[in-house]
Amino acid sequence: MKQFTIPFTYRSSLIADIKQKRKLADKMKKDFTPSLLEFEGLKIYLARHFGFCYGVENAIEIAFKTIEENAGKRIFLLSEMIHNPKVNADLINLGVTFLQDTKGNQLIDFSELNEDDVVIIPAFGTTLNIENKLKESGIKIEKYNTTCPFVEKVWNRSEQIAKQGFSIIVHGKPSHEETRATFSHASSAAPTLVINDMQEAQILAKFISGELPINVFDNFFEGRYSENFIPEKSLDKIGVVNQTTMLAAETQGISDFLKSVMAAKYPENTSLHFADTRDTLCYATNDNQSAVYGLLEQEADIAIVVGGYNSSNTSHLVELCEAKLPTYFIKDESKIISQNIISHFDLRNKIEKISENYLHADGEKRILLTAGASCPDAVVESVILKLKELFSV
């Protein structure tokens, strides 16, 4: 795989050595058992896969190279480069300005741009409408586009099945930048609908089967489907693609479920009514989630997940860990305040809170540790060193 040039401050010699050792011992990436970092009185079990993925390193390399090559020019980011506070803060400190927030709200109007400005498209990609607005301002978006190749793969797959007459069901978080971008590209080619989870897939199934009348479709999916999506027609032929950072197992479960619904309705020619799109799952999302399943087989006292609080892929790692043991979602080592106090993000209530006596196990402490795909290895190393400092005798 291509090696990227990214700031050395994001690298970690410790993490690099661990990853390289695991890679040499398991070239096919079939071993998802964690790596053990053992200190006196403390065991840290580090997930087999975590941290920067291909798309993130690609985006960071392009962004920092763009800044270096365009000294004196105004440089803008359409929105956050990736969902990591350190990386975005570094870009802002280098003079980069955001045009939008992560919800798509305008911070600087596109009309204020001119053809001499540089606009970087983030790794999530963007909508066709925004692309056109930037082009109208004279911005050459192709030159500074950091859209992840695996996101573009979803767009390409959507276009392929659209040509075969299938409508597109996008499994994703409706307000997420990547989902908005995928919806835009998919709906330009075919009727498109966004669903958030299996519960919504089950509701959609009732419209497919006729159990629910079409006239109440808007009660469940208003604002989630394209203008060319006509429920009574567009649900005859469907294919499922995903926001690449969703839970891989959930996307597959939704796809399998909707395929079974179509098979029940069209038993003799299901393949004409349901498109096989499972190849849109992102390899890094899959690897990181599989590594967490392997991590959770290890007995431990707590789990710590490191990453940006608005990171979709990181939040899913938190959800997996929370299902088994106490889990603390932190953005960096500074949130581990002492042996007794930790500041962490409550995913369910979307607030940061303080917990006391978070690691109250007697004797040897056992901690599971992983990080999201947008978290620098250097931050993970800092968390390890902070834990060692606090808990190792």
Domains: count for the chain: 3
Q: What is the pLDDT of residues 54-96, one digit of tens each?
A: 999 999 999 999 999 999 999 999 999 899 999 999 999 999 9
To the query of whether residue 178 is one of the catalytic residues in this protein, the response is yes
Residues 134 and 255 grouped into a single domain:
no
Is the per-residue pLDDT at 248 higher than 90? no
Residue 380 lies in a domain: yes
Does residue 302 lie in a domain region?
yes
Best CA proximity match to 44, nearest among 237, 333, 353: 333
Q: Tell me which residue range forms the domain holding 106.
A: 54-144
Q: Are residues 348 and 309 in the same domain?
A: yes
Residues 92 and 104 in one domain: yes
Task: Please report whether residue 1 resides in a domain.
Answer: no
Kindly indicate the confidence band of residue 249, based on its pLDDT and cuts at 50, 70 and 90: confident
Q: Both tokens of residue 343?
A: 């500041």
144, 177, 203: which is the final residue of a domain? 144
26 and 49: one domain? yes
Last residue of a domain, one of 234, 252, 281: 281
Q: Which residue has the tokens 């999201």?
A: 372
Q: Please check whether residues 237 and 323 belong to one and the same domain.
A: no
Residues 251 and 294 in one domain: no
Q: How confident is the model at residue 178 (pLDDT cuts 50, 70, 90)?
A: very high
Smallest CA-to-CA distance from 308 within 81, 94, 86 is with: 86
Whether residues 190 and 203 fall in one domain: yes
| Beta-carbon count within 10 A of 72 CB | 6
Place of tokens 């196990």: 361
Q: Determine, yes or no, domain membership for 2.
A: no
Residue pair 365/341 in contact by the 8 Å Cβ criterion:
no
Render pLDDT for 328-350 as a digit per residue (tens, 0 to 9): 999 999 999 999 999 999 999 99
Residue 15 counted as domain residue: yes
CATH of the domain at 378: 3.40.1010.20
244, 238, 135: which is closest to 181 by C-alpha?
244
Determine the average pLDDT of the residues in 150-165.
95
Q: Are residues 184 and 265 in the same domain?
A: yes
Q: Give the model's confidence band at 360: pLDDT under 50 very low, under 70 low, under 90 confident, else very high.
A: confident
Q: Domain with 118 in it: what CATH number?
A: 3.40.50.11270
Q: Which DSSP string corresponds to 94-162?
A: TT-EESB-TT--BSS-GGG--TT-EEEBPTT---HHHHHHHHHTT--GGGGB---HHHHHHHHHHHHHH
**pLDDT for the residue 361:** 74
Residue 280 has pLDDT above 80, yes or no: no
- What average pLDDT does the chain have? 94
Band of residue 12 on the pLDDT scale cut at 50, 70, 90: very high
Taking the C-alpha atoms of residue 25 and residue 75, their distance in angstroms, rounded to an integer, is: 43
Query: Is the residue at 320 inside a domain?
Result: yes
Provide the token pair at 121: 């498209």
Residue 1: per-residue pLDDT: 62
Q: What pLDDT, in 10s, does the model give residues 207-230? A: 999 999 999 999 999 999 999 999
- Asked if the structure places residue 3 within a domain, the reply is no
Asked if residue 288 is part of any domain, the answer here is yes
> Are residues 166 and 270 both part of a single domain?
yes
The per-residue pLDDT for 290 is: 95
Q: Is 89 found in the same domain as 76?
A: yes
Q: Which pTM does this prediction carry? A: 0.93
pLDDT reported for residue 213: 96
310 and 374 both lie in a single domain = yes
For residue 246, give the 3-state DSSP assignment.
Answer: coil
pLDDT interval class at 141 (50, 70, 90): confident
Q: CB pairs under 8 A, 24+ apart, for 107-112?
A: 108/76, 110/134, 110/136, 110/137, 111/137
Strand spans (E) along 258-335: 274-275, 302-306, 327-330
- The domain boundary, picked from 144, 173, 192, lies at 144
Same domain for 251 and 202: yes
Which residue among 178, 200, 319, 381 is the active-site one? 178
Rounded mean pLDDT of 300-317? 96
- Residue 214 phi, psi (nearest 5): -60, -30
